[in-house]
Chain A
Amino acid sequence: MFKNIYNWIDERLDVTPIWRDVADHEVPEHVNPAHHFSAFVYCFGGLTFFITVIQILSGMFLTMYYVPDIINAYNSVEYLQTQVAFGQIVRGMHHWGASLVIVMMFLHTMRVFFTGSYKAPREMNWVVGMLIFFVMLGLGLTGYLLPWDNKAYFATKVTMEIANSVPYLGPVLKELMQGGTIVGAQTLTRFFALHVFFLPAVLLTLLVGHFIMIRRQGISGPL
């Protein structure tokens, strides 16, 4: 029956070539830990993506309770942490996942760097990967403020001072991020918007580019 449904769709949309491009390819021996255990270093990229998916899913569930305003932000996080069934686990996944994704991404970057995999013709994919790294750091920075506790508030004040010390653009940059002259209600809504809409949109776009390039160029050969 599934075969019939697939055929029905395939006749109309011609999905087989898309499937072939996305999924139907071979994994060479030199990146397969089943053949060489040391090839586990090639797993870090996949694990980074896996944690990114966890982050997106847990983040989606967090926004069902989180309220981005200076009074209710803390209250909603506390409620989520202490009252909501499994809220502590979902928030824990998002919190620890944020650190783990940085760790995995760092290991992945080091693997690519030390195996020289960024060399021609894969230069562009390295650049896109570094942009993903910066976007991830931006997500970490903006997400840190959202619980609106003292740690979040004072760390963001320091961030603003650092932004302010950039020559010429500093004060403008600071006010743009802060949404005013102090770290306050505007900063929280702005960071929320960045964390939930702007940066994830950029991240997903870059990820699509990253994956398309891997499929087009293939995995780099053995050393």
Chain B
Amino acid sequence: MAHGKNSEEKIVYVGDSRVKKAKGFVVPPDYTAYPGKSEAFIPNFLLKEWMVGVVFLVGFLVLTIAEPAPLGFPANPSATIIPMPDWYFLFLYEYLKLPYASGDYVVLGVIGVTGVAFSALLLAPFLDTGKERRFYRRPITSSLMILSIMAIVYLTNGAWTHYTSEMEKSGQKPEHIQRHEEAEEKRAKGLPTSNAVVTKEVAIVEKEDVAMESYKLAGCITCHAADMKGAAGPSLRGIGDVHDKDAILTIIKEGYNGKMGPQYDNAIAAGLTDQDVDHLAEWLAKQKAE
């Protein structure tokens, strides 16, 4: 170290750094300053704390075994579900439905009250600057907090009551319960219980048809790719489920929604006859998923 403890120099640095040693920080009182019996953190207190931890852990593990984590059905944007956030967001969710926190007043709801409340909580030590620590000697601070907690309990209860009544009205069951019951039924019948999403690749129908050659020759492959899975343009596999032959012919001749220009002249220029194009459209209309 560059400077020992008993350095005679006028400026004293911290360690071998260039930070000057200052005497700003006041060392907190030693625990012997507090009355009563203090105890070593390690190992005495930590072992006692660990015993509390073990009891907690046993209870926690019993909970995880008794109540498996819920899992519903795979996300499906067209499903009819009553949306529900996790329980600790319920008060915010319910609050933002109040008349003066939604609709025209949504700014007040999102930024106004919520913003002020959370900022006040964040900056509590700078708002409540008195020396007094006991809560009953700080009536304003304490009552604000108690009021907030009561509001949170009230709003959470409101959200939950609303949710359960909605579920009852629509005759729905929470999906994780539904899934569990269905799985039990399937298991009893010896069927597989999985709800896993299985994606099957759509195959090209009549791959050996001459239309496949026309498809390549006419230059369709530049956008729709040689395997018809699409590149700059969309996939044409299973296109027969979307458009029939006439519609496809119209698309080839007139283009598609401004995304694709007319392709008929290009096809003729590439050496296809009108009959070839007609056959190509017919073949494309046969491209169905099943």
- Whether A151 sits at the interface, judged by CB under 8 Å, is yes
Complex Cα spacing A157 to B37, Å: 55
By the criterion CB–CB under 8 Å, are B64 and A93 in contact?
A: yes
Complex Cα spacing A57 to B131, Å: 41
By the criterion CB–CB under 8 Å, are B125 and A25 in contact?
A: no
Residue in contact with A25 in the complex, picked from B31, B56, B71, B106, CB distance below 8 Å: B31
Q: A126-B125, A140-B86, A223-B133 are in contact. Are A149 and B60 (CB under 8 A)?
A: no
Residue in contact with B53 in the complex, picked from A47, A70, A147, CB distance below 8 Å: A47
Output the nearest chain B residue to A93 by Cβ-Cβ distance.
B64
- Contact residues in A for B133 (Cβ distance below 8 Å): 115-117, 119, 220, 223
Complex Cα spacing A176 to B181, Å: 38
- The residues in A between 89 and 110 inclusive whose CB is less than 8 angstroms from any CB of B are 89, 91-100, 102, 110
By the criterion CB–CB under 8 Å, are A28 and B36 in contact?
A: yes
By the criterion CB–CB under 8 Å, are A150 and B28 in contact?
A: no
Residue interface bits A210-223, CB-to-B below 8 A is 1, else 0: 00000011101111
By the criterion CB–CB under 8 Å, are B37 and A92 in contact?
A: no
Output the nearest chain B residue to A220 by Cβ-Cβ distance.
B133
- Whether A2 sits at the interface, judged by CB under 8 Å, is no
- Contact residues in B for A144 (Cβ distance below 8 Å): 85-86
Complex Cα spacing A86 to B224, Å: 46
Complex Cα spacing A53 to B124, Å: 28
Complex Cα spacing A159 to B77, Å: 15
- Whether B194 sits at the interface, judged by CB under 8 Å, is yes
- The residues in A between 3 and 34 inclusive whose CB is less than 8 angstroms from any CB of B are 23-30, 32, 34
Residue interface bits B81-121, CB-to-A below 8 A is 1, else 0: 11111111100010010000000001101110000001001
CB distance from B14 to the nearest CB of A (A): 14
Choose among B25, B88, B123, B199 the residue with the greatest number of A CB atoms under 10 Å from its CB: B88
By the criterion CB–CB under 8 Å, are B83 and A216 in contact?
A: no
By the criterion CB–CB under 8 Å, are A150 and B45 in contact?
A: no
By the criterion CB–CB under 8 Å, are A27 and B38 in contact?
A: yes
What is A's interface to B at a CB cutoff of 8 Å?
Answer: 23-30, 32, 34-35, 43, 46-47, 50, 54, 70-71, 74-75, 77-79, 81-82, 88-89, 91-100, 102, 110, 113-120, 122-123, 126-127, 130-131, 134, 137, 140-141, 144, 147-155, 157-159, 162, 165-167, 216-218, 220-223
29 A–B pairs (Cβ distance < 8 Å), ordered by A: A28-B31, A28-B38, A34-B48, A43-B49, A50-B53, A88-B64, A92-B67, A92-B68, A95-B70, A96-B60, A110-B149, A114-B135, A115-B133, A116-B132, A117-B133, A119-B131, A130-B121, A141-B89, A147-B71, A147-B72, A148-B75, A150-B72, A151-B84, A152-B75, A153-B75, A157-B83, A158-B85, A166-B110, A218-B28
Name 4 extra pairs, CB < 8 A, besides A130-B121, A223-B133: A26-B38, A43-B52, A150-B175, A220-B133
Leading 4 A-B pairs by shortest Cβ distance = A116-B133, A29-B36, A92-B64, A95-B69
